[in-house]
């Protein structure tokens, strides 16, 4: 029997990168696109430009993943809605703010035999997806985090520029309570198949994490990195490396920025997740975030790219999530509140200008 099909929802830089690598690992892949027009434009191939392998000055080598199918992600009531065949293995690579609505569009194709893998920045997406799907269609969830650096490919709608290979770690999210008392909610076979598919694609460097607490620590560290790097770089219009605290070009106020936001995240996590407190000290968070800043120094953060393109950002799932957690646990969060408010003001300003 051949390898099982994987559906990919979200044809941005990350979705196309994962789709191509799954295809190269031998999986049939179907992209779920927003419209019939996009399906019509898709020629069955995804182009990956390996920028990281680019010799100085030369063009990035390009690789093509072909024989990829495309369908519309739309509810059955939608005119021209596509297939209604069940989806067993779904990888969702949309932005955090789009994940719940995108999953709801294919709710009629998901069920208890399905597994949905979520790769968004921020936290709270799994809960939003469960709410959007409702009690009728509760798939198993895989929650993952990825540090692959990639961007859109100007002039190539179904292309992605792979700038900096990273890694991907994931775990099965605790399943919802069983439908009837006494029933056991075991993950369906599709959970293992989707996990195997991710691991089998060498370029994705994907590793399953056996213990949910270990993945949770990684997700919380990533959240702190995104909460520190993304809004500052987006508002200042600078690359990530600018906020490195060891940067001699910065004055004291800028050098204190990163430790300040990390200390606030540690205080929030300490109250919200006491069992993980010893792994999420201010020092541990600061070291992690400083390492991410240095490793991605040349990057333009995803929030900077979103604001520049006039798109909604993931702020509500990043600093917004920290602010809500702080409120629930009675912890002051002035730095995150301010960052959240400033990015929201920029978004509102842009939305008004676009009307
Ligand atoms: O995840 C990122 C993002 O831009 O969203 C970082 C790690 C900050 C890299 O740019």
Please indicate whether residue 229, judged by its CB atom, sits closer than 6 Å to ligand 1: yes
- Please report the pLDDT score of residue 51 as a whole number: 87
Closest ligand 1 atom to Cα of 301: 4
Q: What's the pLDDT tens digit per position in 122-152?
A: 999 999 999 999 987 789 999 999 989 888 8
Q: Strand, helix or coil at 36?
A: helix
The rounded distance, in Å, linking the Cα atoms of 320 and 88 is: 32
| Closest Cα to atom 5 of ligand 1 | 302
Question: What one-character DSSP code corresponds to residue 178?
Answer: P
Residue of higher predicted confidence among 55 and 339: 339
Per residue, the 3-state secondary structure of 144-170, as one string, reads: EEECCEEEECCCCCCEEEEEECCCEEE
Instruction: Looking at 115-211, list the stretches that DSSP marks H as alpha helix, in order from N- to C-terminal side.
Output: 125-133, 189-200
Closest ligand 1 atom to Cα of 314: 5
If you measure from the C-alpha of residue 177 to the centroid of ligand 1, how many angstroms do you get, rounded to a whole number? 34
- Please report the pLDDT score of residue 78 as a whole number: 74
Neighbours of 216 (CB within 10 A): 19
- Please report the pLDDT score of residue 230 as a whole number: 98
If you measure from the C-alpha of residue 225 to the centroid of ligand 1, how many angstroms do you get, rounded to a whole number? 8
Please indicate whether residue 299, judged by its CB atom, sits closer than 6 Å to ligand 1: yes
Q: What's the pLDDT tens digit per position in 74-115?
A: 888 776 667 889 999 999 999 999 999 999 999 999 998 999
- Please report the pLDDT score of residue 181 as a whole number: 64
Range with lowest mean pLDDT among 148-162, 168-182, 202-216, 219-233: 168-182
SS percent in the chain: helix, strand, coil, step 5: 50, 15, 35
The rounded distance, in Å, linking the Cα atoms of 93 and 70 is: 15
Residue matched to tokens 């270990």: 214
Residue of higher predicted confidence among 250 and 100: 100
The pTM assigned to this predicted structure is: 0.92
User: What is the overall mean pLDDT for the chain?
Assistant: 93
Please indicate whether residue 226, judged by its CB atom, sits closer than 6 Å to ligand 1: yes
φ/ψ (deg, to 5) at 318: -110, -90
The rounded distance, in Å, linking the Cα atoms of 312 and 176 is: 30
The answer to whether residues 307 and 313 touch, using CB atoms and an 8 Å cutoff, is: yes
If you measure from the C-alpha of residue 301 to the centroid of ligand 1, how many angstroms do you get, rounded to a whole number? 5
ipTM above 0.85, yes or no: yes
């Amino acid at each position: 029997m051949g390898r099982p099909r994987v559906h990919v929802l979200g044809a941005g830089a990350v979705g196309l990168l994962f789709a191509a690598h799954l295809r190269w690992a031998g999986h049939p892949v179907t992209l779920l696109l927003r419209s019939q027009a996009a399906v019509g434009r898709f020629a069955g191939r995804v182009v990956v430009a390996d920028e990281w392998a680019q010799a100085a000055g030369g063009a990035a080598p390009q690789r093509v993943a072909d024989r990829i199918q495309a369908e519309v992600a739309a509810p059955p009531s939608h005119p021209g809605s596509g297939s209604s065949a069940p989806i067993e293995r779904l990888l969702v690579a949309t932005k955090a703010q789009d994940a719940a609505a995108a999953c709801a569009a294919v709710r009629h194709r998901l069920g208890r035999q399905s597994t949905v893998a979520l790769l968004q920045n921020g936290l709270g997406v799994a809960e939003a997806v469960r709410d959007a799907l409702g009690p009728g269609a509760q798939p198993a969830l895989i929650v993952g985090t990825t540090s692959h650096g990639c961007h859109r490919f100007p002039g190539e709608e179904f292309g992605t520029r792979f700038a900096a290979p990273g890694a991907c770690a994931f775990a099965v999210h605790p399943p919802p309570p069983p439908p009837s008392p006494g029933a056991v909610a075991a993950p369906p076979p599709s959970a293992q198949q989707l996990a195997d598919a991710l691991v089998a694609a060498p370029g994705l460097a994907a590793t399953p994490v056996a213990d949910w607490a270990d993945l949770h620590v990684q997700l919380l560290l990533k959240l702190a990195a995104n909460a520190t790097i993304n809004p500052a770089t987006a508002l200042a219009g600078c690359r990530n490396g600018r906020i490195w605290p060891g940067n001699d070009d910065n004055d004291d106020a800028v050098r204190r920025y990163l430790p300040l936001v990390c200390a606030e995240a540690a205080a929030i996590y300490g109250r919200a997740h006491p069992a993980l407190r010893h792994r999420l000290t201010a020092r541990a968070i600061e070291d992690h975030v400083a390492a991410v800043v240095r490793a991605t120094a040349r990057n333009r953060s995803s929030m900077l790219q979103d604001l520049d393109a006039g798109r909604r950002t993931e702020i509500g799932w990043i600093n917004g999530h920290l602010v809500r957690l702080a409120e629930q646990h009675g912890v002051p969060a002035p730095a995150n509140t301010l960052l959240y408010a400033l990015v929201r003001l920029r978004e509102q300003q842009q939305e008004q200008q676009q009307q």
